[in-house]
């Protein structure tokens, strides 16, 4: 097959993957990373705990490695993530004074988004701000700063990096439900207030056989609003070991997601959350599950790889 990235180009979309730079020393991983993808996002290296473990002391070693890989490979660099309750160092989680927390948030955005201005095509400015029922997640930002922290973060990110598109990103917003409708209503409200919001990311950490029936329709309604959309963290997990029938269903599901993106005018592309089943967050969080990615732990292409290639017209 033609590489995914070349086939995607013909559709005006990019194919991304989440990179952990330490894995690049592995030749099998590296070969796939270089051949197939034209967008790179740091799996962990640009998060708050990695970039500002101590207040005001920034460390960009791993993040710079991700940026360098993207540049060397002529791939877009996608920023993940500026404001998130998880992987947030204790010092930030424990701030209780609104002015102090807002200052810390602004300093963080200035330093991290500012460093990669001109390199990052889009930032997940705020990640996972919702509960599944569509109420606000009670993160430290929400508790101390209130609803307005999202608009404040977006405005600050625009100042820090005027060229990156600014996104909100979440999981379980992949079909039409209370959570995705809360996201939709927020985008409408932010735009009415003139707050910079360019894009919405749909993580799409899905289960084999359970792609939401409203998946394409959900992307479409955001696209119709005039924001760009992206599948930002795609994987499809299952119980392991996976049978041949399950891997075939997984291939169908990967194809369904890619075809949905291709069918929606403002869908920028699809990012898979890793490369191979040997390096995936899934088994660490869901006991007995895994096999969620298009390559197996020996870097052999699975049926899902072929299905994506076919959806892109590479086959």
Site of interaction with ligand G3I (CB under 6 A): 43-44, 86-87, 127, 171, 203, 233, 281
Q: What share of the chain is helix, strand, coil (3-state, %, to 5)?
A: 45, 20, 35
Dihedral pair phi/psi, residue 61, rounded to 5°: -55, -55
- Nearest to ligand G3I of 41, 311 (CB atom): 41
- Nearest to ligand G3I of 282, 307 (CB atom): 282
**Omega prior to 137 cis, within 30 of 0:** no
By beta carbon distance, the residue nearest ligand G3I is 281
Dihedral (CA of 243, 246, 248, 250) sign: negative
Q: Which of 2, 43, 233, 259 is catalytic?
A: 233
- In the chain the beta strands, taken as DSSP E runs, fall at 14-19, 39-42, 76-83, 120-127, 165-170, 199-202, 205-207, 228-239, 267-272, 289-290
Q: How far is the CB of 295 from ligand G3I (least distance, A)?
A: 16
- Nearest to ligand G3I of 11, 23 (CB atom): 23
- Nearest to ligand G3I of 14, 62 (CB atom): 62
3-state secondary structure of 289: strand
Q: Which of 2, 36, 128, 259 is catalytic?
A: 128
Which H or E element spans position 9?
A: helix 4-9
Rounded CA gap, 127 and 145, in Å? Answer: 16
Q: How far is the CB of 127 from ligand G3I (least distance, A)?
A: 6
Q: How far is the CB of 46 from ligand G3I (least distance, A)?
A: 10
Q: Which residues pair with 207 in a beta bridge?
A: 237
- Nearest to ligand G3I of 86, 159 (CB atom): 86
> CB-side exposure of 182: number of CA atoms within 13 Å?
19
Rounded CA gap, 164 and 161, in Å? Answer: 6
Which has the closest alpha carbon to 267: 307, 234, 304, 309? 234
Q: How far is the CB of 7 from ligand G3I (least distance, A)?
A: 26
Nearest-10 Cα torsion for 170, 150, 80, 229: 50
**Omega prior to 26 cis, within 30 of 0:** no
- Nearest to ligand G3I of 170, 314 (CB atom): 170
Let me know if 233 is a catalytic residue: yes
Catalytically annotated residues: 128, 233
């Amino acid at each position: 097959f033609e590489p995914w990235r070349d086939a995607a180009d013909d559709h005006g979309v990019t194919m991304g993957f989440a990179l952990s730079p330490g894995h690049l020393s592995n030749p099998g991983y590296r070969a796939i990373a270089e051949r197939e993808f034209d967008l790179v996002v740091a799996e962990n290296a640009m998060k708050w705990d990695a970039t500002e473990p101590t207040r005001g002391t920034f460390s960009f070693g791993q993040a710079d490695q991700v940026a360098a890989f993207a540049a060397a490979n002529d791939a877009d660099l996608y920023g993940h993530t500026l404001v998130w309750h998880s992987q947030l160092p204790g010092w930030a989680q424990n701030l209780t004074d609104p002015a102090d927390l807002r200052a810390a948030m602004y300093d963080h955005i200035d330093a991290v988004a500012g460093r990669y201005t001109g390199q990052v095509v889009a930032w997940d400015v705020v990640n996972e701000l919702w509960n599944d029922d569509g109420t606000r997640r009670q993160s430290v930002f929400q508790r101390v700063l209130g609803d307005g922290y999202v608009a404040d973060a977006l405005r600050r990110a625009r100042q820090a990096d005027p060229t990156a598109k600014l996104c909100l990103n979440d999981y379980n917003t992949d079909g039409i439900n209370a959570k995705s409708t809360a996201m939709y209503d927020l985008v409408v409200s932010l735009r009415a207030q003139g707050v910079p919001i360019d894009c919405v990311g749909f993580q799409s950490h899905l289960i084999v056989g359970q792609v939401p029936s409203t998946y394409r329709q959900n992307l479409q309604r955001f696209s119709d609003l005039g924001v760009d959309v992206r599948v930002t963290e795609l994987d499809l997990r299952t119980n392991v070991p996976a049978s041949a029938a399950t891997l075939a269903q997984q291939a169908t599901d990967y194809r369904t997601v890619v075809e949905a993106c291709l069918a929606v005018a403002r869908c920028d592309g699809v990012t898979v959350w890793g490369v191979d089943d040997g390096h995936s967050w899934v088994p660490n969080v869901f006991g007995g599950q895994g096999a969620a990615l298009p390559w197996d732990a020996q870097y052999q292409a699975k049926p899902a790889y072929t299905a994506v290639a076919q959806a892109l017209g590479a086959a």
